[in-house]
Structure 1
Amino acid sequence: MKTLHYLLAATSLLPLSYAMADATNYPVTLTNCGTEISVASAPERTVSVGQSATEILYSLGLADRVNGTSVWFNPVLPQFAKANEEIDRIADNDPSFEAVVNKRPDLVAVQYEWHVGPTGSVATREQFHELGIHTYIMPADCDTKDNSTGGDGTRTAAFSTESIYKGITELAHIYDVQAAGEALVADLIDREERAIDLASSLDLPQDLSAVFWFSSTDLGVSPFVAGQLGAPGYMMDKLGIRNVIESDEEWPTVGWESIARANPDVIVIAAMDRRRFPADDIEAKREFLRSDPVTSEMSAVQNNRIVEMDAHAMSATMRSIYGLESLAEALSAMTFK
């Protein structure tokens, strides 16, 4: 019953004219991240800007309609490796506007608003729309979030997986694959529930605390750590963990001395293929935690309560639910004095 309840909650975010619909009646008109879009028919050619959008499209069975991908943090989910090999990766990081347009897409599916927003690093939505190319930004990056503050934006309310389910359901409707969308949402809700149930069954300390370390511009400088309201905050809240970082920013920088004073019981570190910063390397993170005179004294380091998690799961994506699972499983193998 819980799964049905959450599925209905997710689809209630959509207009009644197409929530849980059997087939799409075009045109599809909806408001996406503050912009009204109207799609006249199911897109045949799509470029994705962001791994989250890519993997959701693949999960909906739409790999054959994806002509180019970009912005990757981790290897693609294993079940999509073969399909992904056949699709052009136009950029590991930010693609150029020209590279996207040259693929002649009907629609550009975007993970982060800062790539295709008012000051888009790739282009503005208007630039694409002027060429007759639709844009769709994943709601998880704009619902309950203010991206006008710069950087990674600031959450105005806590991230909820309902925004992930909303994005899946809307894309499924745009592409007329509603059954695939409903099945994907139901599976993710079930996985979410089971991870929460696992954590609830553990004898965890009442005051269990954690910090999520994404990366740092250099080892030793203040790291990018997860604020209260993003995807890591969601994971901690669902599993009964206190976030020692009190900021509402998505990824504030906080000094190691402050983190050490808070002395979190668990440190979650991001694993990624990206190598923009020295601390992107997971082994560099581990070595720093063990060798630095400040961090090496932390309880989590001394007791080896360090959890590796896909960087992509730490963003507001479908993989956040996989991150919830991996964190619950890691906690089940830990002991706390």
Structure 2
Amino acid sequence: MTIRELTFLRPLSHLAMLGAIALSLSAPAVAADAQRIVSVGGAATEVLYRLGVQDRVVGVDSTSLYPAEARDKPDVGYIRSLSAEGILSLSPDLIILEEASGPPETVAIIDKAGLKVAHVPSGYDLGGVPQKIRDIAAAVGKSEDGNKLAAEVDAELVDLKNRLAGVKTKKRVLFILSLVDGRPMAAGTHTAANGIIELAGAENVFADVKGYKTLSPEAAAAMKPDAILMIDRSSAPHEGEGLLSVPAFAATPAAATGSLFKMDALYLLGFGPRTGQAARELASKLYPDLNLAAAK
């Protein structure tokens, strides 16, 4: 995933001036009045578009790739390496920050800038996405529409959970974020990958570890995953090809069934309005006999 160039940023020396201007402003009394919104986080941006307030969005981060029209907005940088100056230079009256936003010092500057800031939790569980949608909708004065959208997503996730209730043996999934010199970087708990695996009715084989960790192929294969899950990368479209034929993985259950699946990163890990669809699609790959792809 590439980061769009920040062509609109002013020199860093203006940071203090921008901060002083922002501090002189009082936060809007009603969030619904916000007409210049900066959205940081692909899911947050997607929610704003679904709520129909995209014309009020004046800037997004580089993970805001869906819908495609969002890519035409000014880019304030990658969600984990934001510039306070880049955001403040857009003169926002509302800044929406997903939980992963950083670095901390940048977030601290934004919080002290005297502007309306909505911090949105990641929500990597069954109730997390609907709550995220409601929080964002409330911040932009679209609570009624947000409740409807949240109810739709909640219904999708609950329906999938019910359909998976009869699964007696959960599939064991290894999520590999990337391969570093042939060594897989696997996802443990407290990650979006762990969350989507659980929503799809499966078990994360690396759940004993928090966050991401690089492993040797032998250590990863020793977990005996039934399936390996990766993300599609435009910068590395062939990543993972041949992985199941690597000696360490060749004897795994995943290799025996050819179960290496790749899905779009934001769709799979964004935890936004499409999460119910993504979880169902992943579940349909893991449990093809349940015919989940055709379920309504």
Q: TM-score, normalised by structure 2?
A: 0.76
2:189, 2:268 → 1: CA distance?
A: 12
Corresponding residue number in structure 2 for 1:26:
none
In structure 1, C-alpha distance between the alignment counterparts of 2:229 and 2:114, rounded to whole Å = 43
Partner in structure 1 of residue 70 of structure 2: 84
2:171 alignment partner, one of 180, 185, 208: 208
CA distance in 2 between partners of 1:300 and 1:188 (Å): 30
Amino acid at match of 2:177: F
Q: Find out whether 1:124 has 2:124 as its counterpart.
A: no
Deviation at 1:98?
Answer: 1.9
SS of 1:172's equivalent in the other structure is: helix
Change over 3 Å in CA distance of 1:166–1:39 after alignment to 2: farther
Distance change in 2, residues 1:239/1:55 (3 Å): closer
Seen in structure 2, the aligned counterparts of structure 1 residues 86 and 208 have a Cα distance that, compared at 3 Å, is closer
C-alpha change, 1:47 and 1:170, in structure 2 (3 Å) is same
Match for 1:264: what amino acid? P
Structure 1, unpaired ranges of 5+: 1-36, 142-158, 276-280
The Cα shift of 1:290 comes to 3.7
When residues 169 and 107 of structure 1 are mapped into structure 2, their CA distance, relative to the original with a 3 A threshold, is same
Q: 1:166 Cα deviation (Å)?
A: 2.1
1:192 to partner: Cα distance: 0.9
- How far residue 334 of structure 1 moved from its aligned partner, in angstroms, is 6.5
CA separation in 1, counterparts of 2:133 and 2:201? 27
1:108 maps to a residue whose letter is I
In structure 2, distance between residues paired with 1:207 and 1:136 = 37
Per-residue displacement from partner, 1:233-277 (whole Å, max 9, x unpaired)? 33443444222113341323333212211211111111234x4xx
Name the structure 2 match of 1:115.
102
Q: Deviations over 1:267-290 (max 9, x none)?
A: 1111234x4xxxxx2421223x14
Q: 2:240 aligns with which of 285, 296, 310?
A: 285
Structure-2 separation of matches of 1:38 and 1:163:
27
Specify which of 43, 46, 51 is matched with residue 37 of structure 2.
46
The reply on whether 1:70 has 2:61 as its aligned counterpart is yes
CA distance 1:171–1:103, shift in 2 (3 Å): same
Q: How far off its partner does 1:92 sit?
A: 5.7
Among 277, 282, 288, the alignment partner of 1:327 is 282
Could you tell me which amino acid in structure 2 is paired with residue 213 of structure 1? I
Distance of aligned partners of 1:138 and 1:194 in 2 relative to their CA distance in 1, 3 Å threshold: same
| Cα distance in structure 1, aligned partners of 2:96 and 2:85 | 16
- The one of 70, 78, 103 equivalent to 2:90 is 103
Shift in alpha-carbon separation, 1:282–1:211, aligned structure 2, 3 A: farther
Given that 1:70 and 1:91 are in contact with CA atoms closer than 8 Å, whether structure 2 keeps it comes out as yes
For the 8 Å contact 2:194–2:207, the answer to whether it is kept is: no
Does residue 135 (structure 1) correspond to residue 97 (structure 2)? The answer is no
Distance 1:114 1:129 in 2: 12
The alignment yields a C-alpha RMSD, in angstroms, of 2.9
1:258 aligns with 2:212: no
Report the more deviating stretch, 98-107 or 316-325.
316-325
Supply the distance in 1 between the matched residues of 2:126 and 2:48 (Cα, whole angstroms): 17
- Tell me what 1:199 maps to: 164
Residue 219 of structure 1: which of 158, 181, 186 is its match?
Answer: 181
TM-score, length-scaled by structure 1? 0.68
Residues 213 and 314 (structure 1), Cα distance of their counterparts in 2 relative to 1, 3 Å cut = farther
Q: Secondary structure at the match of 1:268?
A: strand
Contact 1:229 1:248 in 2 (8 A): no
Are 1:266 and 1:307, in contact at CA under 8 Å, matched by a contact in 2? yes
Counterpart CA distance in 2 for 1:206 and 1:130 is 50
The 2-side partners of 1:323 and 1:252 are apart by 24
Match of 1:168 in 2: 133
Q: Mark the runs of 5 or more structure 2 residues left unpaired by the alignment.
A: 1-25, 291-296
Report Cα offsets for 1:157-211 as digits up to 9, x if no partner: xx4232322222122122111111011101101211233344346xx56253111
Residue type at the aligned position of 2:89: N
Q: 1:303 to 1:182 in 2, by over 3 A?
A: same
